[in-house]
Structure 1
Amino acid sequence: MKRRTKIVVLGSALLLTAGAAPAATASDAPPQREAAALTSTASDAPHRREAAALTGTAKLYRSAGDDITFSFDAHLAAKDKADPMKATGTFAFSHYRDDFGARAKVEVDCLVTGGKVAVVSGVITESDLPGAEGKRVGVTVHDLGRHDRLGYSWASTGRPGQGNEPPECVSSAPFEKVEKGTGDFTVVPWQPEL
């Protein structure tokens, strides 16, 4: 009986010591570390991830040396999970070769993702391409790590401002290759309740 009591007391003392050690460390730490400890405790609360996202930048590969860049910062909030047309953010693209080229900035109006593929569309808000402002375009991205791929609506509709506009969240298959070493696209897959 005495031996069991000693084991229980010793076990309890070890548990109390183990539980008190982190508390002593946090209270003895400088204020910055103490704040970090409080922050990490607060961030342990359940966090709702966004419903979908497409981020990153890459240059497209062209053997002729064209400088083509796409950048994305598109998001669908968790609260808007059921409506991809409530997506927010922007994307931009540019295409230059020799003395010719243009750029455009786009306000996102729809984002749908599935696995590693994203389709985003939006209306051009700024561009030096004649007739492009106010026109909708769509882009498709396949997030394949170092071998990302990309497609765009004007591959079949005509260049922005001179062709047809696609509806929201419509683009082409990701037929273009990203230039080696430039792809950092990240797709957060959409998981709607079906």
Structure 2
Amino acid sequence: MNRRSTFIRAVAVGAALLALAGATGPATASSTPHPGREAASLTGTAMLDRRPGDDATVTFDAHLDAKGKNDPTTAYGTIKFSHYMENPKFGGSAEARVDCLLTGGKVATVSAVVTKADGGLKGAIGKRVGMTVHDQGKQDRFGYSWAMVGIPNDLPDDMPKCVSAAPFDKTRPGSGDLHVLPMKS
């Protein structure tokens, strides 16, 4: 076989592989432990609209597969949140494992158990937190289960799944976007 034949064969094999990849969709790495058709989700990152020196950020990567749509406790993913204030001096960040996701239209309530935390949020490790998002496009609304107790560290140890406060707070315009994929009947 000469070089030209080898080159043509290599190009043909490469083209066939590209066509196969295009037919099956892109091959991407995913943190999704339950691949399948998605029934609902809450994703995105945004900062809360607070005064200067009070920075709170939240990131959602919460999903519910179609096969689990009748059981919101089969949801999976992570929530990351942080809160840093100058006065009074406070700061910390946390990561939590999602254990429930409910959606209705453009509103989602998610709960998760804190698995990692630092700074002023270390006392939240092992606690269940709940958050509610109203996806409004440019400026979403946001609520959280610790609104009445101050910080997640002070939540009760027996906090139920998918419990949160109404979305009373707003996200900072231009700081990101939270997206709710609502459950379809």
Calculate the TM-score normalised by the size of structure 1: 0.74
Cα deviation per residue 1:5-63 (whole Å; 9 max; x = unaligned)? xxxxxxxxxxxxxxxxxxxxxxxx865554343334345xxxx6301111100001112
State the distance in 2 between where 1:32 and 1:54 align.
38
- Structure richer in strand, relative to its length: 2
1:120 to 93, 110, 115: 110
The alpha-carbon distance between structure 1 residues 115 and 31, as it changes in their structure 2 partners (threshold 3 A), is: farther
State the partner residue of 1:97. 85
Match of 1:180 in 2: 173
Question: Identity over the aligned pairs, expressed in percent?
Answer: 54
Q: 1:57 and 2:45 equivalent? A: yes
Residue 109 of structure 1 contacts residue 168 of structure 1 at CA under 8 Å; is this kept in 2?
yes
How large is the RMSD of aligned CA atoms in angstroms?
A: 2.4
User: Does the CA contact (< 8 Å) of 2:146 and 2:154 recur in 1?
Assistant: no
Give the secondary-structure state (helix, strand or coil) at the position aligned to 2:138: helix
1:111 maps to 101
2:58 maps to what in 1?
A: 70
Structure 2 residue aligned with 1:131, among 123, 133, 136?
123
Give a deviation string over 1:122-170, Cα, whole Å, max 9, x none: 1111112242111111000111111111110101244222233531001
Counterpart of 1:159 in structure 2 is 151
Secondary structure of the residue aligned to 2:123 is coil
Supply the distance in 2 between the matched residues of 1:175 and 1:182 (Cα, whole angstroms).
Answer: 18
Aligned-partner SS, 1:146: coil
Aligned residues: 163
Name the structure where helix makes up a greater proportion of residues: 1
- Which is greater in Rg? 1
Aligned partners of 1:144 and 1:158: how far apart in 2? 26
Q: What TM-score, normalized by structure 2, do the two folds share?
A: 0.78
CA contact (8 A) 1:139 1:171 kept: yes
- Structure 2 distance, partners of 1:117, 1:136, is 20
| Partner Cα distance (2:15, 2:159) in 1 | 52
Maintained 8 Å contact 1:145/1:183: no
Q: Which structure 1 residue ranges, 5 or more long, are not aligned?
A: 1-28
Contact 2:127 2:155 in 1 (8 A): no
Q: Distance between the aligned counterparts of 2:76 and 2:13, measured in 1?
A: 37
Q: Is 1:148 the counterpart of 2:136 in the alignment?
A: no
In structure 2, stretches of 5+ residues that fail to align are 1-10, 26-35
CA–CA separation in structure 2 for the residues paired with 1:76 and 1:177: 25
- C-alpha displacement of 1:187: 1.1
* Residue aligning to 1:39: 21
